Chain A
């Protein structure tokens, strides 16, 4: 048969939540057997001294996974509240299968979905979900039936109360999850949630199930029906019935120890677990470059046939199965050295072990020259039944892969029958030095079904290790103190202590590292990272000392480890490739940006930036010099193949620049391209001359190397190829960087004016990189910490340059460890130097829901009345008296209810006045339509608007005030009518008028109105949270943080509640809102989440605000600030005018609120205006025109939309002018103001100015009909002459420095000698052309 490769694996087994831990446990021999947890079965069943009875157990030890049994349901698109109703093993299977796929390289490495199958071994036992259903529908009824029979006086109502109290303990009924109890769903749910479209089914062959699943999988692959199959087994049943079966069979160990192949083995202990392997044809796996754990050479399956007993194993069937597998492998098992490791079934029952050893002696023959190791993982985790085969297979595959023979526990006195075999058990791990590592795995099931698998090492196996070690995830010990003695003392305690001047950090502390740390502290010298120990007697980051992010350029060995970083921080994964120069460059840039984002999230923020070679571009891109989006868009359009200069090569020379300069003095074709450090210099020139130079240096014992790039960067050779770079610079609108960026061309910070930046950008391409001088200058300027933000060896150049000077260099990425792990080291390194990184963000994050694996006995939280009743004495004679008593009780209950209802408080009218201002509501400052410069004195210019949802909250508060004792549970017919602006302060009247026993009509001035419904109690919560089909869900293209950073929504920090965007589709969006501490803030974030959906799906009229809501219903008190709330919005309709949606908010899977018919009004807007809308200080609504003037088209025909743009542009004084104009004049007046402001702002930007807000340029009319401009509120505006004109949908303006008048006109007679051009309306406006005439300015003269 064609060989099949194991390319991915995962498990959840006792003591092991994942594959890595399983491996560690296997190597170190961890005994994961414990007492049964109480909730799995009731301790009352355990009665070792009691009589033999089906419900009296003499054994209570086994293997359990409770502490690891959780799933993160949202990861699989499962609503958290449906977890309780599902069979836990299905969810575990899903989690393990997903991890196995991830282990195989993730979805990207999977073939087409219809070529992937999933086959899982699973028995039809009483699993917890089934038991809970049984308790609900049978036990509950049985209970009250029996109770009724025993206590005849109990009325039906009382019995029903008992039944209800009993079933209540089982959780809410979930009819929709009943399907979850069908056994095959263990496989089908995996297929469904992971979208696998090949065959998906379970097989049941008792303890042989998993290996038979593997056998099926192999056939699916070799027949070509599938390209990948997930195979494995699932068993999570510790039901009392299951234990009872093994108790009655006396198969459980009486000594309560599981000791496979021990002389005195006396039975099994029951385990549980799940394991999944990802199988693929070997040839495909080799073709795809997969990591291959082991190759499945053969599988064999056979039954005992007619033999002595159904329960006692028979060697005949076993022998047949093992032989079939070896025959399929084309190997002779009896040959010496055929097998190195035999993972036995090893149940540790006397009969089982005896039969298995007899089988092994028969098939493999007696003792051979070369011993083989026998073992069984059951000694560590118990017998995992249908999952036993996969636990053994994964163990054997790991052993084959790592070249380690694994120990078996508790076999100090081996079974004498082993002497007749070639096998021996071992109690500690040994290196597996066979030339070909081959293993066999047994799994034999009740009823006589037997399976065997032959595994062999991959064609290119890892060598067997010299020493056997396993790694643990890094943990960072952080200790601070004010004296060395104190530090030493705290180090002995081994606990984190974070306050003090001297700091020590140890990653993954071990006794050896602690001893090293002690020595280092005693010496009192800094220790920066060797052996993962950091110590600083005098932290570097004090006073003005700074941190620099330094971005690497191209290096020959580029192997970043960043995928885990992207996943961990929810950032976009970056493609990593170095196939060609351009792509390599893009990858370097992407990795730098990704790590920059991750570091900032850890609270590690630079004070300066620098880059080596093209790393300078990464520095620019993270500096805020251009927007993230611009970088993404422009780089996507950049042609990588355009950057190769023919006929030149680089060489690294391992010595300083002076020596190199002397050597190339007489070689005019070779130039210096990089002065990297005192011991590294790079030169560039024709290949033959470079080769000669390299040889010469090597001869002088100077390490020299030709580099694999031919870009010619940083040399004059690039000059003829500059065009694409210049074009790129033109496309990237360069603004002022937020931080100093050091140029390695000048060894000083970049200039801040756009022209200066551009010039230097070009010089950087054709002049040498002076990295050494730059690093020195940075150090002199006070930079003490250099973080290498990328992969590679750039840091070593910094160390070489700063040798002997106080500094820290640390790499944010390393080939030596995982990406997140390396970031943890960075945090440790910086913490020691006085920084305060947030270590918590580099800890593993998950939002798991714990699975209830048990089905414990139910305790009822009620009592039945058994006290004597005066009717009791009569019941014997008059049965009717019993019924009468029950009737009386029911009547009393109903009467109490009715009377309670009567006592309802009354609702009254209410009128109150309230002041709305930014003092009363400081959060309004985070809800401003018009951003303004920091410290801008006119608050009104910011337009702080009361959120519509705050108005709703005010209305609910008023309604509750009008109806003391009642809760506002529903809000109907919300209308949000007019903006309520909080500056200047204003008073509003709030009125509440009862319109029914439980309804109040409320209004806030003429701004909003609604009807609020009030009741004493919350309405019952809806049974289920909404969900969205997996196929409709896609992953949001940005993180919540980016959502705000890019100002997709204008909200400031107080209202920024969205902390995760989880899914988006054509008709839905979902996210997590962390409840803000702002009235109405939670619902405001629903609107923001809708804003994200609009941003993603719509291309026009993207600006929208809520105007109306049909109904908002609350099912509980408002979540406290800080509570994470899941929000799912379903989009019902999108029309020209409105977005109409429904929304549901849940807390921990429990529905808190539902909103029906939320309507957002769409405002006129256009993608072209998007940047100016979000960042008006850096972008203009007008377009620049050749010749140095601007034109703005009116894209806001309706008044409400115009109002939005107006508020972004006009200062208070200008707004007052606008308000006084006759309405028909307002439109053009505004167009003119926008154009002038943009003309002036463009002029400033062109001359190096930073951000300028529109309101900073004050436009005034003079008496003679001209317009003038002045700086507003102290904005330093030089003398500028302006002119404007407008017609129909067009406004134009021109601005020039100085006093000389300028003019611009539309459709003026062509007699005045001005320059002219024709402009047209954009396509979305009425088709119109205009002739614009303007006075020529300096720009025109340049053109001419």
Chain B
């Protein structure tokens, strides 16, 4: 896979879908998710939700995309400031590295 804009859009859409799963949306679509959406402030995700998200990401993309290691390098403030776009960047980059 290459990091074209198209694949970036796909990654974003998949991540947004996973976030909706984590948020247990029950089919009522109320959360607006874009690349600027913050995990903490906007979605009010807690650490345990990141655990679930990590599992979903591993399930989808396998070993090359390890959110646990990505988060390991961040301090608390950085995790709090994390936005959906950051995660998309990370996934896209990790996939590129794996592919390239």
Residues of chain A having any CB pair with chain B under 8 Å = 466, 516, 519-520, 523, 525, 527, 530-531, 533, 556-557, 652, 654-655, 677, 679-680, 694, 697-705, 793, 796-797, 799-800, 816
Q: Which residues of B contact A466 (CB under 8 A)?
A: 36
Closest A residue to B52 using CB positions: A679
Number of A-B residue pairs, CB cutoff 8 Å, is: 82
Q: Which residues of B contact A523 (CB under 8 A)?
A: 26-28
Contact flag A516-B30 (CB < 8 Å), given A679-B51, A699-B69? yes
Q: Which residues of B contact A698 (CB under 8 A)?
A: 66, 68-69, 72
Closest A residue to B25 using CB positions: A530
Q: Which residues of B contact A697 (CB under 8 A)?
A: 68
Report whether B71 and A703 are in contact in the complex, using a CB–CB cutoff of 8 Å.
Answer: yes
Contact flag A654-B68 (CB < 8 Å), given A703-B47, A703-B54, A800-B48? yes
Cα A527 to Cα B30 in complex, Å, equals 11
Cα A525 to Cα B30 in complex, Å, equals 14
Contact flag A680-B58 (CB < 8 Å), given A520-B28, A703-B68, A816-B44? no
**0/1 interface trace, chain B 9-35, chain A, CB 8 Å (1 if under):** 000000000000001001110110000
B35 nearest CB across to chain A (Å): 12
Closest A residue to B69 using CB positions: A698
16 contacts between A and B (CB under 8 A): A519-B28, A527-B28, A531-B30, A531-B31, A680-B47, A680-B48, A694-B72, A698-B72, A701-B58, A702-B51, A703-B47, A703-B51, A703-B67, A705-B47, A793-B48, A800-B48
Interface flag for B78 (CB, 8 Å): no
Report whether A701 and B28 are in contact in the complex, using a CB–CB cutoff of 8 Å.
Answer: no
Report whether B51 and A530 are in contact in the complex, using a CB–CB cutoff of 8 Å.
Answer: no
Cα A151 to Cα B85 in complex, Å, equals 88
Interface flag for B98 (CB, 8 Å): no
Closest B residue to A708 using CB positions: B76
Cα A654 to Cα B31 in complex, Å, equals 25
Q: Which residues of B contact A527 (CB under 8 A)?
A: 26, 28
B95 nearest CB across to chain A (Å): 15
Q: Which residues of A contact B49 (CB under 8 A)?
A: 796
Q: Which residues of B contact A700 (CB under 8 A)?
A: 68
Number of interface residues of B (CB under 8 A): 29
Interface flag for B55 (CB, 8 Å): yes
Interface flag for B46 (CB, 8 Å): yes
Question: Which positions 33-74 of chain B face chain A at CB distance < 8 Å?
Answer: 36, 41, 44, 46-52, 54-55, 57-58, 63, 66-69, 71-72
- 8 closest cross-chain pairs (CB), A and B: A654-B51, A796-B46, A701-B58, A793-B46, A698-B68, A796-B48, A516-B30, A703-B68
Cα A516 to Cα B27 in complex, Å, equals 11
Closest A residue to B65 using CB positions: A701
Q: Which residues of A contact B67 (CB under 8 A)?
A: 701, 703
Cα A558 to Cα B9 in complex, Å, equals 36
Task: Select the residue from A466, A531, A702 with max chain B CB neighbours within 10 A.
Answer: A702
Cα A797 to Cα B48 in complex, Å, equals 7
Q: Which residues of A contact B47 (CB under 8 A)?
A: 652, 654, 680, 703, 705, 793, 796
Report whether B46 and A516 are in contact in the complex, using a CB–CB cutoff of 8 Å.
Answer: no
Other contacts beyond A701-B55, A703-B51: 5, CB < 8 A: A516-B30, A519-B30, A679-B51, A679-B52, A680-B51
Q: Which residues of A contact B28 (CB under 8 A)?
A: 516, 519-520, 523, 525, 527
Residues of chain B having any CB pair with chain A under 8 Å = 23, 26-28, 30-31, 36, 41, 44, 46-52, 54-55, 57-58, 63, 66-69, 71-72, 76, 80
Cα A1191 to Cα B21 in complex, Å, equals 68
Q: Which residues of B contact A516 (CB under 8 A)?
A: 28, 30
Q: Which residues of A contact B76 (CB under 8 A)?
A: 556-557
Cα A797 to Cα B36 in complex, Å, equals 27
Cα A435 to Cα B77 in complex, Å, equals 24
Q: Which residues of A contact B41 (CB under 8 A)?
A: 816
Closest A residue to B51 using CB positions: A654
Closest A residue to B47 using CB positions: A793
Closest A residue to B55 using CB positions: A701
Q: Which residues of A contact B69 (CB under 8 A)?
A: 698-699, 701
Q: Which residues of B contact A519 (CB under 8 A)?
A: 28, 30
B62 nearest CB across to chain A (Å): 9
Q: Which residues of A contact B51 (CB under 8 A)?
A: 654-655, 679-680, 702-703
Cα A679 to Cα B36 in complex, Å, equals 27
Q: In the complex, which of the residues A525, A533, A699, A797 contacts B66, with contact meaning CB atoms closer than 8 Å?
A: A699
Q: Which residues of B contact A793 (CB under 8 A)?
A: 46-48
Contact flag A654-B27 (CB < 8 Å), given A703-B47, A797-B48? no
Closest A residue to B66 using CB positions: A701
A862 nearest CB across to chain B (Å): 66
Cα A531 to Cα B50 in complex, Å, equals 20
A796 nearest CB across to chain B (Å): 4
B26 nearest CB across to chain A (Å): 5
Q: Which residues of A contact B30 (CB under 8 A)?
A: 516, 519, 530-531, 533
B15 nearest CB across to chain A (Å): 15
Cα A1071 to Cα B46 in complex, Å, equals 45
Cα A57 to Cα B52 in complex, Å, equals 71
Cα A527 to Cα B48 in complex, Å, equals 20
Cα A620 to Cα B88 in complex, Å, equals 46
B30 nearest CB across to chain A (Å): 5
Cα A694 to Cα B68 in complex, Å, equals 10
Report whether B31 and A679 are in contact in the complex, using a CB–CB cutoff of 8 Å.
Answer: no
B91 nearest CB across to chain A (Å): 13
B84 nearest CB across to chain A (Å): 14
Cα A531 to Cα B57 in complex, Å, equals 25
Cα A694 to Cα B57 in complex, Å, equals 19
Report whether B54 and A702 are in contact in the complex, using a CB–CB cutoff of 8 Å.
Answer: yes
Q: Which residues of B contact A699 (CB under 8 A)?
A: 66, 68-69
Closest A residue to B26 using CB positions: A525
Cα A680 to Cα B44 in complex, Å, equals 18
Q: Which residues of B contact A530 (CB under 8 A)?
A: 23, 30-31
B73 nearest CB across to chain A (Å): 10
Report whether B44 and A679 are in contact in the complex, using a CB–CB cutoff of 8 Å.
Answer: no
Cα A516 to Cα B26 in complex, Å, equals 12
Report whether B26 and A701 are in contact in the complex, using a CB–CB cutoff of 8 Å.
Answer: no
Closest A residue to B41 using CB positions: A816
B50 nearest CB across to chain A (Å): 6
Report whether A677 and B68 are in contact in the complex, using a CB–CB cutoff of 8 Å.
Answer: no
Cα A652 to Cα B79 in complex, Å, equals 16
Closest B residue to A799 using CB positions: B48
Closest A residue to B36 using CB positions: A466
Q: Which residues of B contact A797 (CB under 8 A)?
A: 48
Closest A residue to B23 using CB positions: A530
B78 nearest CB across to chain A (Å): 13
Cα A557 to Cα B76 in complex, Å, equals 8
Task: Select the residue from B31, B36, B50, B72 with max chain A CB neighbours within 10 A.
Answer: B72
B17 nearest CB across to chain A (Å): 17
Q: Which residues of A contact B58 (CB under 8 A)?
A: 701
Task: Select the residue from B30, B36, B57, B76 with max chain A CB neighbours within 10 A.
Answer: B30
B16 nearest CB across to chain A (Å): 15
Q: Which residues of A contact B44 (CB under 8 A)?
A: 816
B80 nearest CB across to chain A (Å): 8
Report whether A701 and B54 are in contact in the complex, using a CB–CB cutoff of 8 Å.
Answer: yes
Cα A466 to Cα B68 in complex, Å, equals 30
A657 nearest CB across to chain B (Å): 14
Report whether A704 and B68 are in contact in the complex, using a CB–CB cutoff of 8 Å.
Answer: yes
A504 nearest CB across to chain B (Å): 14
Q: Which residues of B contact A520 (CB under 8 A)?
A: 28
Q: Which residues of A contact B57 (CB under 8 A)?
A: 701
Closest B residue to A555 using CB positions: B47
Q: Which residues of B contact A652 (CB under 8 A)?
A: 47
Q: Which residues of B contact A525 (CB under 8 A)?
A: 26, 28
Cα A521 to Cα B51 in complex, Å, equals 31
Cα A797 to Cα B52 in complex, Å, equals 12
Q: Which residues of A contact B26 (CB under 8 A)?
A: 523, 525, 527
Cα A713 to Cα B71 in complex, Å, equals 26
Cα A557 to Cα B68 in complex, Å, equals 19
Cα A797 to Cα B47 in complex, Å, equals 10
Q: Which residues of B contact A694 (CB under 8 A)?
A: 72
